[in-house]
Chains A and B, each alone.
Chain A
């Protein structure tokens, strides 16, 4: 992979498709962000993608995301002018230009947000994020695992409201304060997290995740063109494992503390006929049980795909009768350390059992 290249118009679709899959059920549909980004590309914008290890140690990198409730996305659509607001705030605060922007979250809609700001401001995007997927909060990021400083961070509203959070006790407080503010703004805020040095991104970023999403999208697209099984193509490319093929027979949902929790029950089809699978989720899929026995948990990526198209099925869109395939993709290595697991394993979501990997041979 060369140090810098331009993300092409064709790759934007692949990025959105792959990012929706890496959302592991959450993260929101990237469709609106994709439309807004394509509009910028139509005006001539092109976003360079740079590899993390080419960053200077003292480079300043902006970490971009949109925070809030996915339902708001149904009505309030993506807007690059808003996404760039907190970036400008942060640059004003430090009186320094960001050398590059990076993703907080490759999973779902936040995969596109940094590209919107980068296209507007003419900055490159680093081929890295802090989750390798979607997770509910900043506590589950690789930067939190690395105990990096979580402040200052900038939040902006669509109206003329901007908040700079100067200090916070830790990553948990970082999230709590942001949530309080964004609820006032219609459950939507545009954020620029604490700036990172090039060294920090090299040491604690999840590298290559933008390329990974693009390659997943490309694999599905190519397989469909050839009338081959898109899911099989994805699994081969990503060293993933198919866990279960079936149909949704029940979905139970409830919200607790602002998160969508629930359980989805599947009944087996094809090779899994007569078997049963249950998926527990908290915005994202966290635990998979095959005939009652835990087969996979976070931080392995548990993805539910439409069995025919290979497209991701989000936890909010699970519905009776859907025919889906459950797959697992390997977790980023960084989350498999004891410290990483403390932030991303089932215990980090209130469960009393340990990480179960769908890839036991890989070892922990």
Chain B
């Protein structure tokens, strides 16, 4: 089956057609202010390629930074009223308290705290305050606010309070954008509430944007379903993306790493992406990036999303080399490399100049670096190799020799052998790795819950069954589903055998159902 992968970056929109494991065609266009213009252009260019068959396209998958950018730039966001079901617990730290002032100013449309929520063991904290919710719902309906975020304590364990609150809200105000926090998963009430608010705030923009994507698709004559990529390297359907735009946050680095894995046919590896100013090092396990375990701030707001664990060091093709000390970076000429690097006629000595002098790569005018002392060039190359080796070693998950995938415009700065590295693989066409990552994105299911009075095996089995069911509901082909992550954590100071268990599964997008959809 053929799929189109599109990466909408800040500067460029890359798109390609992937047939099985073959890239049939790839194009690069400028990202337009309305985002969709660039996509329409890219699709038109792709379909003009002689070996691309419009009718054979089974899915179009878009990776975009659009919603992250909206939060970061505080644009396109709707005001949100936050409802938290918690009392008598958690009354002091109210919604929006730890937000940056400017973002709070744009998004906050008041908050309400209500009686209810649950304890870790499933007991109610207090009876759900349905009367209070009815009063709040009337107020919200009268206020004219268009978006609401509902969260309740321990809702990932028991979502009933959030569901009851939403049902009452619908009676009074049926057409609001509402997000329930348990739909966004994980434990950590404040962070989950923050994500819930951001999501509701983005829903109008997401609807508009995904509709525009769909229109661009339709106008190009492609009748395949539209997906958006998520931060974990998997996809969501267009309707789901319109409802949960926050899931697209940070899908860029994930797509890049997964694309690199795909192009090199290696699933467990260190990926090193050498750009103009920095080198990003990440680690792939089973074809997915290893995730950072920390609180991640988005636009200054604390969230508990899982993001790829990426180490950035100040080494890139444009890194400035200090003639006196021999140090490289972190200062870089950046995008001005085409004018400022010596080999391109400038006067700044960069990492690329050293690489050319050392014969690692042939670009620009080599005669402009002929005056460099060969011993100095050799030492500087060693310095750069040392920086890469150190970063790689820090990101490796174990002592076993691991393959390394080198991508990016400055990949020539990576040596052919490194300690602890079994082989260095340099991938052709790695410039479109992001779009490839989008094209190959799979469907996932995840469960992160507290299990009581079960053995570890029972808890994991139960979580796995639920995760698989979720993945199938989201459009995965059951035959292709594999478990990619199992994590369990016994919890301190809780009575009985209490285990927090997380299981994640992924599968390929189911082709047959797509075909059925198409034929109607």
Residues of A near any B CB (own CB < 8 A): 26, 32, 35-36, 39, 68-72, 74-81, 158-159, 179, 183, 186-187, 247, 249, 253-255, 258-260, 267, 269, 283, 316-317, 319-323
Contact = CB atoms under 8 A, between A and B. Distances in A.
A324 B61 CA distance: 38
Question: For chain A, what secondary structure do more than half of its interface residues adopt (helix, strand, loop), or is it mixed?
Answer: mixed
B291 to A, nearest CB: 9
A253 B86 CA distance: 31
Given A253-B489, A320-B397, A77 B190 contact: yes
Nearest to A159: B88
Contacts of A81: 91-92
B146 interface: no
Given A247-B394, A253-B489, A320-B397, A158 B125 contact: yes
Contact of B493 (A159, A249, A258): A258
A234 to B, nearest CB: 20
A258 B189 contact: no
A69 B90 contact: no
B492 A283 contact: yes
Given A71-B491, A74-B188, A158-B89, 10 more contacts: A39-B93, A69-B491, A70-B493, A71-B494, A75-B188, A77-B92, A77-B190, A186-B125, A247-B394, A249-B399
A179 B89 CA distance: 19
Contacts of A323: 394
Nearest to A116: B92
Contacts of B125: 158, 186
14 contacts: A39-B97, A69-B120, A71-B450, A71-B491, A72-B120, A75-B90, A158-B125, A186-B119, A187-B121, A249-B398, A249-B399, A259-B493, A269-B394, A319-B293
B187 to A, nearest CB: 5
Interface string B394-416: 11111100000000000000000
B84 to A, nearest CB: 10
Interface centre among B93, B187, B489 (most CB of A within 10 A): B93
Nearest to A40: B92
Contacts of A74: 187-189
Contacts of B153: 75-76
Interface centre among B93, B97, B492, B494 (most CB of A within 10 A): B492
Contact of B495 (A36, A76, A253, A258): A258
A250 B283 CA distance: 16
Q: Ordered nearest first, which 4 A-B pairs have the shortest CB separation?
A: A260-B492, A186-B119, A255-B490, A69-B493
Interface residues of B, number: 43
B280 interface: no
Interface centre among A39, A68, A77, A78 (most CB of B within 10 A): A77
Given A78-B92, A260-B492, A321-B283, A255 B498 contact: yes
Contacts of B501: none
A324 B293 CA distance: 14
Contacts of A249: 397-399
B126 A159 contact: yes
Nearest to A184: B123
Contact of B89 (A26, A76, A253): A76
Nearest to B87: A158
A81 B153 CA distance: 18
Nearest to B97: A35
Nearest to A306: B294
A247 B309 CA distance: 14
Contacts of B495: 183, 187, 258
B493 A35 contact: no
B250 interface: no
B290 interface: yes
A300 B208 CA distance: 59
B190 A316 contact: no
B492 A76 contact: no
Given A35-B98, A253-B490, A255-B494, A71 B91 contact: no
A36 B493 CA distance: 24
A76 B90 contact: yes
Contacts of B90: 75-77, 79
B119 A258 contact: no
Contacts of A322: 293
A259 B283 CA distance: 33
Given A71-B500, A158-B89, A249-B398, A187 B293 contact: no
Contact of A269 (B393, B494, B500): B393
B497 interface: yes
B154 interface: yes
Interface string B470-506: 0000000000000000000111111101101000000
A113 B84 CA distance: 23
B494 A258 contact: yes
B491 A75 contact: no
B491 A260 contact: yes
Contacts of B92: 36, 39, 77-81
Nearest to B497: A255
A256 to B, nearest CB: 9
B290 A260 contact: no
Interface centre among B123, B154, B494 (most CB of A within 10 A): B494
Contacts of A69: 120, 491-494
A81 B91 CA distance: 9
A26 B492 CA distance: 10
A289 B188 CA distance: 33
A72 B123 CA distance: 13
Nearest to A79: B92
B88 A71 contact: no
Contacts of A78: 92-93
Contacts of B91: 79, 81
B493 A186 contact: no
Contacts of A183: 494-495
Contacts of B93: 32, 35-36, 39, 77-79
A254 B490 contact: yes
A268 B92 CA distance: 43
A75 B189 contact: yes
B402 to A, nearest CB: 12
Nearest to B450: A71
Nearest to A318: B293
A78 B283 CA distance: 37
A317 B490 CA distance: 12
A35 B191 CA distance: 13
A323 B88 CA distance: 40
Contacts of B154: 75
